[in-house]
Amino acid sequence: MKKILIVLLGVSFFVACVKEKGAVNDELETVGPVDASGNAIDSNQQTSNLLKIYIEDLANNQGKVLIALYQNEQEFDDETNPFIGDSVDATSSNLLVQYANLPAGDYAIALFHDENENAELDQNFLGIPQEGYGFSTNPGFLLSKPSFDDVSFQISAQGEQEQIINVKYGI
């Protein structure tokens, strides 16, 4: 386990303990499905409430993508205790990360491409990110961290949800 600290435009973004996982080699790199504890789920095992996160437009295949999945506004605002904190290898410009057996409810995703694996979102002297970042629902132009309501989505009982996150570089 290692600690991850993300800062976006001078605002603390999230701190999470993560377990590192590797990706499967394929045209669309795929990780998972795993459960909320990070345990791999066998393809023959029954799953429910599947979340598929398509991470698109990574600038390169260096480093890791650090992912935080939040269940509510308090977790998102507190930033220190996401429901799931994860790290996957940036092995392709497009990744698919899957989580299964999630409780029904509202969620938000925040991630960034940690190209140099220093566990920080690197910024220039103006606070503009020098590494890619993204949120669920792909909010528009950002000068600060969006609200939970701006980036939240719902997973229903026995449902499957897909989130496509276009990684942004700069502002």
**pLDDT tens digit sequence for 27-76:** 565 666 666 666 666 655 666 789 999 999 999 999 999 999 999 999 99
Taking only the tens place, the pLDDT of each residue in 106-140 is: 999 999 999 999 999 899 998 889 999 999 999 98
122 within some domain: yes
Residue at 136 is within a domain: yes
Answer yes or no: is 131 within a domain. yes
| 3-class DSSP state of 16 | strand
Residue 10 lies in a domain: yes
Pairing mode, if any, of strands 84-89 and 64-70?
antiparallel
Domain that holds residue 162: 2-40+48-166
Q: Give domain status of residue 171, yes or no.
A: no
Q: Is residue 90 one of the residues assigned to a domain?
A: yes
103 and 50 in contact (C-beta within 8 Å)?
no
164's tokens: 């496509």
Q: What are phi and psi of 78, to 5 degrees?
A: -70, -40
What's the total number of domains in the chain? 1
The CA distances from residue 103 to 18, 44, 67, 160, in Å, are: 20, 20, 18, 12
Amino acid identity of 11? V
Cα–Cα distance for residue pair 54/137, rounded to 1 Å: 11
